[in-house]
């Protein structure tokens, strides 16, 4: 019943899921950084930056991810000639473009999670920090964000799970991850249900433990008040 799986060795099922994992990890790191910057902009004293942060989040969150990923390929790569340092290696180029698209999209959600985390830090913390004479960036870096991060591990875990599943959209621009292999298999084998089940199982294996571990972590690290 599963013998068709052995016909695929480049990439194999595991290889394709490995690309999925890589996409997830790189995009997670990138969107954490960009999302934190966006959150900082949204609470910053400079009105224009606040406006930009708000506009970015509201626009990006409202566009289907497929459209954003396609824009990285059709727009950035084709029109603006962005090659991501790999003009002659398509595999690398489109992988990096996909990461860029996923970061741009996921960061909006990371930003909102962190901003709400900032709101859970008691006002007294920031006031005390200011009383010590710390500047805005010092207040944020040394006092508020460290506490905020601990309280948003739960929400961020949810973002990470969603991100893992969202990497499947990278197939739209030809990144050879799990969803693309699934598409090829369905095109060749005409066994939609069975193939779908195999890949659904793969995603359950990837996302369930992530959720459980991070939930446990968030309980452990929660700031006791």
Partner 1 sequence: MTSVLYDAPGPKAKRRNLIFSVVFFVLLALVLWWVWQVLDDKGQLEWSLWKPFTTADAWTTYLLPGLADTLKAASLAMVIALPLGAVLGIARMSDHRWVRVPAGAVVEFFRAIPVLLLMLFANEFFARSTGVSSADRPLYAVVTGLVLYNASVLAEVVRAGILALPKGQSEAAQAIGLRKSQTMSSILLPQAVTVMLPAIVSQLVVIVKDTALGGVMLGFTELLNSRGTLAANYANVIPSFIVVAVIFIVLNFILTSFASWLEGRLRRSKRGTGAVLGVEDVDDLNAAEVGGTHGAGAEK
Partner 2 sequence: MKLRKVTAASAAVFALALTATACGGDDSDSGSSSSGGGEKIKIGIKYDQPGLGLKEPDGSFSGFDVDVATYVAKELGYEPNQIEWVETKSADRENALSRGDVKIIAATYSITDERKEKVDFAGPYLLAHQDLLVKSDSDITEATDLNDKKLCSVTGSTSAQNVKKDFAPKAQLSERGGYSECLSALQTGQVDALTTDDSILAGYAAQDQYKGKFKLAGLKLSNENYGIGVKKGDTETVNKVNDALEKMVSDGSWQKAVDENFGPANYKNEKAPEIGQIVQ
Q: Which residues contact partner 2 by CB under 8 A?
A: 10, 70, 73-74, 77-79, 88-91, 94, 171-174, 180, 183-184, 186-190, 192
Q: Does residue 144 interact with partner 1 by CB under 8 A?
A: yes
Rounded to a whole number of angstroms, the minimum distance from the CB of residue 99 to partner 1 is 15
Residues 6+ apart with CB under 8 A from 108: 35, 38, 56, 57, 60, 61
Secondary structure element (H or E) that encloses residue 105, with its range: helix 90-120
Instruction: Specify whether the CB–CB gap between 179 and 17 falls below 8 A.
Output: no
Contact 116, 152 (CB under 8 A): yes
- The helices-and-strands tally (H runs, E runs) of the chain is 10, 0
> Counting contacts by CB under 8 A, is residue 151 touching partner 1?
yes
User: Using alpha carbons only, what angle is made at residue 96 by residues 58 and 35, rounded to the nearest 5 degrees?
Assistant: 30
Least CB distance to partner 1 at residue 152 (A): 7
Cβ proximity of 42 and 115 under 8 Å: yes
How far is it between the farthest Cα atoms of the chain? Answer: 69
By the rule CB under 8 A, 173 interacts with partner 1: no
Rule CB under 8 A: say whether 150 interacts with partner 1. Answer: no
Gap between the Cα atoms of 83 and 22, Å rounded? 19
Q: Which does residue 13 touch among partner 1, partner 2, none (CB within 5 to 8 A, set by kind)?
A: none
Between 89 and 137, whose beta carbon lies closer to partner 1? 137
Q: Choose among 120, 133, 112, 106: nearest CA to 41.
A: 112
Considering only residues 75-114, where is the footprint of partner 1 by CB under 8 A?
Answer: 75, 79-80, 105-106, 108-110, 112-114
With contacts defined by CB under 8 A, name the span among 5-13, 83-91, 92-100, 202-210 that binds partner 1.
202-210
Cβ–Cβ < 8 Å for 144, 121:
yes
- Comparison of 137 and 188: residue with beta carbon closer to partner 2: 188
203 belongs to the binding site for partner 1 (CB under 8 A): yes
Partner touching 173 among partner 2, partner 1, none, CB below 5 to 8 Å by kind: partner 2
Rounded Cα distance between 29 and 31, Å, is: 6
Q: Rounded to the nearest whole angstrom, what is the least distance from the CB of residue 78 to partner 2 in the complex?
A: 5
Partner interacting with residue 97 (select from partner 2, partner 1, none; CB below 5-8 Å by kind)? none
Q: Which stretch binds partner 1 (CB under 8 A): 9-17, 62-70, 86-94?
A: 62-70
């Amino acid at each position: 019943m599963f013998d068709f799986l052995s016909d695929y060795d480049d990439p194999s099922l595991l290889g394709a899921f490995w690309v999925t994992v890589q996409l997830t990890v790189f995009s997670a790191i990138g969107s954490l950084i960009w999302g934190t910057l966006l959150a900082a902009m949204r609470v910053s004293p400079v009105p224009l930056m606040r406006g930009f942060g708000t506009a970015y989040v509201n626009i990006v969150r409202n566009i289907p991810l497929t459209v954003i990923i396609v824009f990285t390929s059709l727009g950035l790569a084709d029109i603006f000639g962005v090659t991501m340092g790999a003009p002659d290696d398509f595999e690398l180029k489109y992988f990096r473009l996909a990461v860029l698209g996923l970061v741009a999209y996921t960061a909006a959600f990371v930003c909102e999670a962190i901003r709400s985390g900032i709101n859970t830090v008691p006002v007294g913390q920031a006031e005390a920090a200011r009383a010590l004479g710390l500047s805005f960036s010092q207040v944020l870096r040394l006092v508020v964000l460290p506490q905020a991060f601990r309280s948003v591990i739960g929400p961020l875990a949810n973002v990470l799970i969603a991100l893992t599943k969202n990497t499947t959209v990278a197939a739209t621009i030809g990144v050879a991850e799990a969803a693309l292999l699934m598409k090829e298999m369905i095109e060749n084998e005409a066994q939609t249900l069975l193939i779908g089940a195999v890949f659904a199982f793969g995603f359950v294996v990837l996302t369930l433990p992530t959720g459980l571990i991070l939930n446990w972590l968030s309980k452990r690290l929660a700031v006791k008040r």
